[in-house]
Amino acid sequence: MSSAYDPLWMFRLPLSGDVNQRITAPWFSPAITVNYAGDAAIEDRVVTEVASYGKQLGWLTEVAIALAKKQPLPSETLEQLEAAARRIDAIKKDIKRSTVEVATEVLDRLERDDPKSYRTLIRRRQA
Protein backbone atom coordinates (compact mmCIF):
# COMPACT_ATOMS: atom_id res chain seq x y z
CA MET A 1 0.00 0.00 0.00
CA SER A 2 1.50 3.34 -0.98
CA SER A 3 1.62 6.30 1.29
CA ALA A 4 1.80 9.98 0.46
CA TYR A 5 4.18 10.34 3.40
CA ASP A 6 6.60 7.57 2.36
CA PRO A 7 7.97 8.06 -1.17
CA LEU A 8 10.10 4.89 -0.85
CA TRP A 9 7.16 2.60 0.01
CA MET A 10 7.77 0.45 -3.07
CA PHE A 11 11.28 -0.50 -1.91
CA ARG A 12 10.15 -2.19 1.30
CA LEU A 13 10.64 -5.89 1.71
CA PRO A 14 7.72 -8.14 2.65
CA LEU A 15 6.90 -8.01 6.37
CA SER A 16 9.11 -4.95 6.81
CA GLY A 17 6.52 -2.69 8.37
CA ASP A 18 6.96 -0.34 11.26
CA VAL A 19 9.54 -1.29 13.86
CA ASN A 20 9.38 -0.39 17.53
CA GLN A 21 12.83 0.19 18.98
CA ARG A 22 14.01 1.38 22.36
CA ILE A 23 16.36 4.30 21.95
CA THR A 24 18.52 4.87 24.98
CA ALA A 25 19.92 8.15 26.25
CA PRO A 26 23.58 7.20 25.59
CA TRP A 27 22.80 7.08 21.87
CA PHE A 28 21.83 10.74 21.99
CA SER A 29 24.23 11.87 24.67
CA PRO A 30 27.20 9.59 25.40
CA ALA A 31 28.11 11.78 28.39
CA ILE A 32 25.13 10.46 30.39
CA THR A 33 26.07 7.62 32.71
CA VAL A 34 23.50 5.74 34.76
CA ASN A 35 24.93 4.26 37.94
CA TYR A 36 22.45 1.72 39.23
CA ALA A 37 22.54 1.06 42.95
CA GLY A 38 21.68 -2.63 42.56
CA ASP A 39 21.78 -5.17 39.76
CA ALA A 40 21.95 -3.22 36.49
CA ALA A 41 19.94 -5.85 34.58
CA ILE A 42 17.11 -5.67 37.12
CA GLU A 43 17.18 -1.88 37.32
CA ASP A 44 17.08 -1.54 33.53
CA ARG A 45 14.09 -3.86 33.21
CA VAL A 46 12.26 -2.15 36.07
CA VAL A 47 12.54 1.33 34.56
CA THR A 48 11.65 0.10 31.07
CA GLU A 49 8.92 -2.42 31.94
CA VAL A 50 7.40 -1.21 35.23
CA ALA A 51 7.84 2.50 35.89
CA SER A 52 10.47 5.21 35.61
CA TYR A 53 12.32 6.39 38.70
CA GLY A 54 10.30 9.59 38.59
CA LYS A 55 7.01 7.71 38.52
CA GLN A 56 8.09 5.48 41.42
CA LEU A 57 9.27 8.49 43.41
CA GLY A 58 5.96 10.24 42.70
CA TRP A 59 3.98 7.32 44.14
CA LEU A 60 6.14 7.20 47.26
CA THR A 61 5.90 10.99 47.68
CA GLU A 62 2.09 10.88 47.52
CA VAL A 63 2.00 8.19 50.21
CA ALA A 64 4.56 9.97 52.41
CA ILE A 65 2.68 13.28 52.24
CA ALA A 66 -0.62 11.59 53.09
CA LEU A 67 1.01 9.85 56.06
CA ALA A 68 2.66 13.08 57.25
CA LYS A 69 -0.64 14.95 57.07
CA LYS A 70 -2.50 12.02 58.68
CA GLN A 71 -4.78 11.84 55.65
CA PRO A 72 -6.21 8.70 54.08
CA LEU A 73 -3.71 6.98 51.83
CA PRO A 74 -4.43 7.44 48.11
CA SER A 75 -5.91 4.05 47.17
CA GLU A 76 -5.10 4.31 43.45
CA THR A 77 -1.47 5.10 44.24
CA LEU A 78 -1.26 2.17 46.68
CA GLU A 79 -2.67 -0.13 44.01
CA GLN A 80 -0.05 1.11 41.54
CA LEU A 81 2.73 0.56 44.10
CA GLU A 82 1.51 -2.95 44.90
CA ALA A 83 1.27 -3.83 41.19
CA ALA A 84 4.77 -2.44 40.61
CA ALA A 85 6.13 -4.46 43.56
CA ARG A 86 4.63 -7.66 42.10
CA ARG A 87 6.11 -6.94 38.67
CA ILE A 88 9.51 -6.11 40.17
CA ASP A 89 9.51 -9.39 42.14
CA ALA A 90 8.70 -11.27 38.92
CA ILE A 91 11.60 -9.52 37.13
CA LYS A 92 13.98 -10.41 39.97
CA LYS A 93 12.93 -14.06 39.83
CA ASP A 94 13.29 -14.08 36.04
CA ILE A 95 16.77 -12.54 36.16
CA LYS A 96 17.90 -14.92 38.91
CA ARG A 97 16.58 -17.94 37.00
CA SER A 98 18.19 -16.71 33.80
CA THR A 99 21.56 -16.24 35.49
CA VAL A 100 21.51 -19.77 36.92
CA GLU A 101 20.48 -21.20 33.56
CA VAL A 102 23.26 -19.34 31.75
CA ALA A 103 25.85 -20.38 34.33
CA THR A 104 24.74 -24.01 34.06
CA GLU A 105 24.96 -23.95 30.27
CA VAL A 106 28.44 -22.42 30.36
CA LEU A 107 29.67 -24.91 32.94
CA ASP A 108 28.24 -27.81 30.93
CA ARG A 109 30.02 -26.54 27.82
CA LEU A 110 33.29 -26.11 29.72
CA GLU A 111 33.00 -29.63 31.13
CA ARG A 112 32.39 -31.00 27.64
CA ASP A 113 35.04 -28.94 25.80
CA ASP A 114 37.76 -28.65 28.44
CA PRO A 115 37.26 -31.17 31.26
CA LYS A 116 40.58 -30.34 32.91
CA SER A 117 39.76 -26.62 33.22
CA TYR A 118 36.28 -27.54 34.41
CA ARG A 119 37.65 -29.71 37.24
CA THR A 120 40.16 -26.99 38.19
CA LEU A 121 37.41 -24.36 38.32
CA ILE A 122 35.11 -26.54 40.40
CA ARG A 123 37.91 -27.32 42.89
CA ARG A 124 38.73 -23.61 43.19
CA ARG A 125 35.07 -22.68 43.73
CA GLN A 126 34.63 -25.34 46.40
CA ALA A 127 37.72 -24.21 48.33
What is the gyration radius of the CA atoms in the chain, in angstroms? 24
d(CA 85, CA 45): 13
Q: Report CA torsion sign: 115, 119, 125, 126.
A: positive
pLDDT at 40: 84
Please answer whether residues 88 and 50 qualify as being in contact, where contact means their C-beta atoms are separated by less than 8 angstroms: yes
Over residues 24-83, the pLDDT tens digits come to 555 555 544 556 567 888 888 999 999 999 999 999 999 999 999 999 999 999 999 999
Model confidence at 88: pLDDT above 90: yes
Instruction: Please state the domain extents for the chain.
Output: 38-126
